[in-house]
Amino acid sequence: MKFTLGLGSRAWRVSWERAAAAAAGRGAGGALGGGAQRVSSPRSGRRGSRLARALPLCLSRGGGARALPDCAGPSPGRPSARQLAGPRAMEQTYGEVNQLGGVFVNGRPLPNAIRLRIVELAQLGIRPCDISRQLRVSHGCVSKILARYNETGSILPGAIGGSKPRVTTPNVVKHIRDYKQGDPGIFAWEIRDRLLADGVCDKYNVPSVSSISRILRNKIGSLAQPGPYEASKQPPSQPALPYNHIYQYPYPSPVSPTGAKMGSHPGVPGTAGHVGIPRSWPSAHSVSNILGIRTFMEQTGALAGSEGAAYSPKMEDWPGVNRTAFPASPAVNGLEKPALEADIKYTQSASGLSAVGGFLSACAYPASNQHGVYSAPGGGYLTPGPPWPPAQGPPLAPPGAGVAVHGGELAAAMAFKHPSREAADRKPSSPGGKAPDALSSLHGLPIPASTS
């Protein structure tokens, strides 16, 4: 059995048997805890011992999974799908399987649905190690996502690629020059203070002293004449705080979903009035943010399974996710439709490997859709093991329903998670203990006791 994964224009074919075998090889129970064989090696050689490298997802013509011999070779850098050549290159595209049996795409973020699920389970009081096993995501990743969420309130990955917007805009350079001309003996730190005082920059985009010094040295130099850079490139109406919408990147209050709902649908400018947090660059989107948008989308019927061809299937193309898109769409109120589609489309089978068929039927997404990459492995993220979900409760992700949480439910459940939450709120002191009542009804999921 196979399924096709899509990553942008790349097609990823993944053998489900490979994933299943990778999981089964580490214990029939599915959970790593008991049967997992930890691949242990000295740190110096750990890269060469990566199971993911040894067990790439390969697909032969006959449908049987096999490991490409060259995948485990000593050559630096495992060949990527793009690098494969030959008559069967089109067939031998693959993702990777981690030690837990989960499928991931190296270099690419986990799907939002998984990220959301991680946060959700953590807030249910499930320990990160259990989350890791259940979702088949490495514990480092779980830890990372939770840490990020606790820090920023965002479950989304940071902006990948691109460059940070320059803080030394022509306007800033102009002001620096003015300051220097007005007071040739001014220090860089004084210029910095004046940039702040005059509102040319704020604390998030003010150039560093070293940058100012560099500007003074390189761009302003003798102070005699404005450089061609400033003269020719300065826009006629440079905003005083060109990157404020970036640097004061806010995330909405979980208790005010209204703004989120009406937030940053593509083309709809985001609303202000959020609390800026001192994080300079990466994007952030709160869970409630996403859910708010989801609710909005649900209300508008946009989630009725439409493909939304108008939106890029690439997560980085989502405004607010992609660094590039920040200026065009603040997206401060959450994900746009593509992000929602990512969650919606990322279906997971609660019954895991035993329900591959059902999963596949629910995963009829175009291969060109990147989220299809995760839509398939999504099932792999779920432990096929017996105790999850508990038999007495509804599954975490009913087949066909996907991992996408119902916006209203999770929004309510997440509402307690205020951005300014304290560390004490991060995790229950006793993982197996009671979760807040608001959470205990989330998805109707009973809070499982600690498995250890």
Partner DNA sequence: GGCGTTACGGTTGAA
Partner DNA sequence: TGTTCAACCGTAACG
| CB half-sphere exposure, 436, CA atoms < 13 A | 16
SS (H, E, C) 84-148: CCCCCCCCCCCCEECCCCCEECCCCCCCHHHHHHHHHHHHCCCCHHHHHHHHCCCHHHHHHHHHH
- How many of the chain's residues bind DNA (CB under 7 A)? 72
Q: Identify the residue among 29, 30, 125, 157 touching DNA (CB under 7 A).
A: 157
Angstrom CA distances, 101 to 28, 37, 125, 145, 374, stand at: 12, 12, 23, 19, 13
Q: Binding to DNA by residue 138, rule CB under 7 A?
A: yes
- Looking at beta carbons only, is 322 or 329 nearer to DNA? 322
- One character per residue 324-363, x = contact with DNA (rule: CB under 7 A): x---------------------------------------
Measured CA to CA, the distance from residue 219 to residue 416 in angstroms comes to 50
Q: Binding to DNA by residue 263, rule CB under 7 A?
A: no
Measured CA to CA, the distance from residue 219 to residue 222 in angstroms comes to 9
Quick one: which segment of 41-49, 195-203, 398-406, 407-415 binds DNA (CB under 7 A)?
Answer: 41-49
CB of 400 vs DNA, minimal distance in Å: 24
Quick one: which segment of 122-130, 181-189, 248-256, 391-399 binds DNA (CB under 7 A)?
Answer: 122-130
- Looking at beta carbons only, is 4 or 295 nearer to DNA? 4
- Looking at beta carbons only, is 139 or 406 nearer to DNA? 139
Q: Binding to DNA by residue 447, rule CB under 7 A?
A: no
Q: Binding to DNA by residue 82, rule CB under 7 A?
A: yes
Q: Binding to DNA by residue 390, rule CB under 7 A?
A: no
Q: Binding to DNA by residue 26, rule CB under 7 A?
A: no
CB of 98 vs DNA, minimal distance in Å: 3
Quick one: which segment of 198-206, 296-304, 313-321, 441-449 binds DNA (CB under 7 A)?
Answer: 313-321
Q: Which residues of 414-451 are buried (b: 16+ CB within 10 A; e: fewer)?
A: bbebebeeeeeeebbeebbeebbeebeebbebbbbeeb
Q: Binding to DNA by residue 21, rule CB under 7 A?
A: no
Q: Binding to DNA by residue 107, rule CB under 7 A?
A: yes
